[in-house]
Chains A and B, each alone.
Chain A
Amino acid sequence: MADISTHEKPAEAAGTTLLSVRDLGKTYGAGPGEVEAIRSISFDVRAGELVCVVGPSGCGKTTLLKCLSGLLHPTSGSVALAGQAVVAPPKKMAVVFQEYGRSLYPWLSVRDNVGLPLKARRLPRGERDDAVRAALEEVGLGHALSTYPWQLSGGMQQRVAIARAIAYQPEVLVMDEPFAAVDAQTRADLEDLVRRVWQDLGVTVIFVTHDIDESVYLGERVLVLSSSPTVVQEDLAVDLPSERDQISTRALPRFTELRTHVHEQIQRAKRGDRTALPAT
């Protein structure tokens, strides 16, 4: 196995920068009560990449994600998607939230939950139905069209949320700790689903998680964030084979090396923060 940190990317559109984050900072409040959530984050994501963002809890992952998706205005710096500054939720981006139970519309059937963003886009009914059906089949829920989200298990609800994102046909799929609230077995299935969707659709994925193993298993690249106020601690290429399997990939010595490395980075980030705090 090659020990160098270059890695294979999907052939389509690889190489061009799709998302560009420059000196992004976010401070909540003002005056003596202000909280600096993110100090300065810069990174680029190329088209077709699968990037995991990992960091200690409370490091501003969700804040970063909200700035990326145009839901929150950064205090400083900028985000650009395909050269266009992101100031509002962009057309070509779909978001999967952590709280699937609160992110799906309980009064709409699964079909309408997935279809509503397409309706907002004025897609004709026939095309909309086809897109909804295809997306739900992709996540293995082709049979659940007319059920309501709350009639499904947590894992299935998150599949509906993923189907909604897929049907939206985004160029960038942003996921905020989407599997934090599901059990281990479901989580493993959903991780493989994300890999498959990424490979099938050639979409760029930014996957935020606090789980080190998950970030290494899923990602082609892992961005390690420091503790708050947050900077990018490390930008690590994951040189694991592109066909991944829950058992054999996780048993690879390289997987263990990488996860140990990320783990140490995060520990270092936490220590660094603790020693840095009294000085300021």
Chain B
Amino acid sequence: MRRIRLRPVLGALRTLGYAAGLPALALLAWALATDRSASLYFPPPATIADAFVETWFGPAFTEDVLPSLGRFAAGVLLSMVIGIVAGTAIGTTRWLRDLLEPMLEFFRAVPPVVLVPVLMLMLGVGDTMRIAVIVSGCVWPVLLNTVEGVRGVDTVLTETSRSYRVRGGLSLRYVVLPAASPQIMAGIRLCLSIGLILMVISEMFASSSGLGYRIVYFQRSFMIAQMWSGIVLLGLVGVAVAGLYGIAERRVLHWYHGMREVARG
């Protein structure tokens, strides 16, 4: 009995080793490379760690980190809602699809960063503009993936629903959206990583708070260790967002992963 129980523990340790091994090695390499150097631009990790604690565990947390995360969350959530609602409408309505698809391709191809000045003119320099920048880039992967997913529902499933008269909202809730959910989730994953980038970029223009603003400020003030600590923080936010996405995906798509596992086994 005991031997069998040891296995998952060892397995977990091994997973941890794989996951943490490379970062630890990279950190060590950084430490060794910067140990003797007096370069202003590449401070040793210990200095960055000090700067990290000093900078972000203080008023900057409420002044920069929280507003950034709030804008990120608002932009991403708005993108998901717009993307899924509009995507479902477009995907299920043929004439709407024929009407909109060429235009969607055009707007998707416009890099959202170039919209910043335009949006500034239209919406001012406040949070609305920054959230709009995030939405202008994040909505596309969700929208286009939802359209594809909703369109691609298996015909046998559609016919089954039709013959059992499962229609309207019930069909949307229990058939169409679940069937499209693997694609929608893939869109959301892209939306999150684009959202983080756009959050930073939107804060680099005409801003007085936020992670992006603070990092640029440190750069211009030659506070190099602080700048690096901001970059580290962004990376950690990215990891946390990916972690949350992973949890959500396992919940939403548990059937999908289970089915694929059965098909493979």
- On A, residues with C-beta under 8 Å from B are 66, 69-71, 89, 91, 93-95, 97, 99, 102-103, 105-108, 112, 116-117, 119-121, 148, 150-151, 164, 168
Contact = CB atoms under 8 A, between A and B. Distances in A.
A93 B258 contact: no
B174 A116 contact: yes
- Name the residue among A66, A97, A105, A148 with the largest chain B CB count within 10 angstroms: A105
A102 B165 contact: no
A120 B166 contact: yes
Most chain B CB neighbours (cut-off 10 Å) among A70, A94, A106, A148: A106
A121 B167 CA distance: 10
Contacts of A108: 174, 178
B159 A99 contact: no
B107 interface: no
A150 B163 contact: no
B181 to A, nearest CB: 7
A116 B181 CA distance: 19
A70 B164 CA distance: 11
Interface in B147-185: 154, 156-157, 159-160, 162-167, 170, 174-175, 178-179, 181
Interface in B189-222: none
A102 B157 contact: yes
Given A94-B163, A97-B160, A105-B157, A120 B259 contact: no
Contact of B163 (A95, A102, A116, A148): A95
A119 B165 contact: no
B185 to A, nearest CB: 12
A120 B156 contact: no
A106 B157 CA distance: 10
Nearest to A69: B163
Nearest to B253: A107
Interface residues of B, number: 23
B256 interface: yes
A107 B156 contact: no
12 contacts: A94-B163, A95-B160, A105-B175, A106-B256, A106-B259, A108-B178, A116-B166, A116-B174, A117-B164, A119-B170, A120-B170, A150-B262
B255 interface: yes
Contact of A103 (B157, B255, B258): B157
Contact of A150 (B162, B166, B167, B259): B259
Given A71-B162, A107-B255, A102 B174 contact: no
Contacts of A120: 164-167, 170
Interface of B: 154, 156-157, 159-160, 162-167, 170, 174-175, 178-179, 181, 255-256, 258-259, 262-263
B168 to A, nearest CB: 9
A22 to B, nearest CB: 21
A99 B256 CA distance: 18
Contact of B255 (A95, A97, A106, A116): A106
A41 to B, nearest CB: 20
Nearest to A161: B160
B19 to A, nearest CB: 30
A119 B256 CA distance: 24
A97 B159 contact: yes
A94 B161 CA distance: 11
Contact of B262 (A71, A105, A117, A151): A151
A94 B164 contact: yes
A117 B165 contact: yes
B174 to A, nearest CB: 6
Contacts of A97: 156, 159-160
A107 B178 contact: yes
B158 to A, nearest CB: 10
B255 to A, nearest CB: 4
A121 B165 CA distance: 8
Given A120-B164, A150-B263, 11 more contacts: A71-B162, A89-B165, A94-B163, A94-B164, A107-B181, A107-B255, A107-B256, A116-B170, A117-B166, A120-B170, A164-B164
A105 B165 contact: no
Contacts of B170: 116, 119-120
Given A119-B170, A151-B262, A103 B165 contact: no
B163 A105 contact: no
Contacts of B160: 95, 97, 103
